[in-house]
Amino acid sequence: MSAAGAPGAVGVPGGPAPVDDGVYRIHWVPGTDRLLAVCFCGEKREFEDPVELWDWLLAHPEHGA
């Protein structure tokens, strides 16, 4: 698998742009308690709670827009 979470991972600042491969990626923001959710559509947002994160990832209004 890809070395997810490593610097240069998909969707992480400095890493390649998200690809439309149907894969949701969630990175633990280094040095924090926050999670960065990256949708394959390109949308991303930070969360402190994985339940809220999944609610958003699966139903964000911008998806596919």
Should residue 7 be labelled a site residue for other proteins when binding is judged by CB under 8 A? no
**Contacting other proteins within 18-47 (CB under 8 A):** 21-28, 30, 33, 35
Q: Which of 24, 34, 41, 56 binds Zn ion (CB under 5 A)?
A: 41
3-state secondary structure of 46: strand
Q: Which does 63 bind (CB under 5 to 8 A by kind): other proteins, Zn ion, none?
A: Zn ion
Instruction: Take residue 20 and report the two structure tokens written for it.
Output: 């439309």
User: Is the CB of residue 45 less than 8 Å from the CB of residue 52?
Assistant: no
Q: What is the dihedral of CA 9, 14, 34, 21, to 10 degrees?
A: -40
Q: Which of 9, 45, 56, 63 binds Zn ion (CB under 5 A)?
A: 63
